[in-house]
Amino acid sequence: MSLLERDPVASAPPVPPATSATSAPRHAAPAGTSTVLPTHRLGVLPLLAAHRSRAAVAVAVVVAIVAAGLLVTRSRGPEPLVLSLDGTTRLVSSSATTVGDLLQAQGVTLTAHDVVTPAPDTDLSGVHEVTVAYGRQVAVTVDGHTQALWTTSEDVAGLLGELKVSGSAYVSQSPLAPLPLSGATLTIRSAKTVTLVADGSAQQLTTTATTVGQALADAGVGYQRGDQLSAAPAAPVVAGATYRLVRIQVSDQVQQTTMQATVTWVKRASLPAGSSELITSGADGVRQRTLRVRYQDGVAVASTLVSDRVITAPTGWVIAVGTGAVSGSSGNGIAGVTYESTFVPATGKVVGRAPNFHALAMCETHARPRAVNPSGKYRGMYQFDLRTWHGVGGVGDPIDATPAEQTYRAQLLYDNRGRAPWPYCGRFL
């Protein structure tokens, strides 16, 4: 190995001290010889001294650099980091080694419902931010069911996101409203689609109402006391259900009906047979009935009689019927009506006596001037239809004419057509 490759400090041999001529060396030479250092050792000494000087300088430089680094590190101290407490941030410096120690040093008290990021046992080396989200209790009522929930969300929107609440749901507070640490209450109603059948039509509704009655009100469908609803108004809304509303109305109706006047026929021998004479004029009466009618969706389904009273009592007719001998004329007090004295089979007319219209009226209607048959077509004592009545000069409705006029029109009809208009009762003429 060459001299330059060796460590000059550790392996250089010691230089022997100089000796005097009288002192004996620790290792003496044989007699007759002198002690002389080898010439190569003498030549190396200057080189070795220079090399050792350079090594000492290098070591000093290294020590200075390390010391400077330590001084810089000590002067900087721990690096500051961001501490976020429920959204409020600040820069802090601490000699703590873990997140939990840092929070304790900062006087932060945690509960079981708080969330720390990173975890409290995390080493602070390389951590630049510590976040603490405080827990708060919220009483949440969802579709009528209430439960207490813990959340670290700072506002309503965050809690709605945790609960995955649809945007169409009803929420009692604004999504931007804060959730205080002292607690809060929140009402949520999910949207439901139902079918409502009312007023003759069906429609689909999307509602956040909790009850059926409230759903109808929100949809603008009026619901009154007494209406029939397929579910109770206070019943909860069920998604997909069909609700039917039947309108119920009850009203009193006043009906006035005519009380037909009776007709009394009095036989009178002083009058020719077949003739008649009015003795007392009659008048129909008025009867008033009050009915309480129940309607379902506008259709009357039931009625109850509330009152029934006579407003005006009828006054009976009294008519004299002749039973006396027949002269040359009919003797019925109606001018222009004359009968022959023989029966003509071709016409079916009775001649020689006046036709017995009293018997005809008794057969047709029991002589009731305002009688109307079930079909409504034939009217009055002699059951005229309107066309025939007008054909013999009658005006309006036969039932509104007096018995005397009805008898007169029946005589005119008989004169024109015989018994034909009365196929059954005509035999009594």
CA distances, 369 to each of 162, 263, 273, 275, 372 (Å): 88, 8, 21, 18, 9
User: 269-294: per-residue pLDDT in tens?
Assistant: 888 776 667 788 788 899 999 999 99
Domains 81-133 and 319-428 share a fold: no
User: 24-56: per-residue pLDDT in tens?
Assistant: 333 333 333 333 333 333 333 333 334 344 444
| Domain range 81-133, its CATH number among 1.10.150, 1.10.3470, 3.10.20, 3.30.70 | 3.10.20
Q: How far apart are CA 211 and CA 206, in angstroms?
A: 13
How is the beta sheet containing 170-171 ordered, strand by strand? 145-151, 136-142, 184-189, 170-171
Whether residue 348 has pLDDT greater than 50: no
pLDDT of 327 reads: 54
Contact 380, 261 (CB under 8 A): no
CA distances, 325 to each of 138, 274, 329, 332, 407 (Å): 113, 10, 11, 12, 20
The CATH number of the domain covering residues in 136-189: 3.10.20.30
Tokens, residue 336: 């222009």
Q: Does domain 319-428 have CATH number 2.40.40.20?
A: no
The alpha helices in 296-338, defined as continuous H runs, are none
Burial of 194 (0-12, 13-18, 19+ CB in 10 A): buried
pTM of the model: 0.43
User: 97-130: per-residue pLDDT in tens?
Assistant: 999 999 999 999 999 999 999 999 999 988 999 9
Domain assignments of the chain as residue spans, ordered by start = 81-133, 136-189, 192-246, 319-428
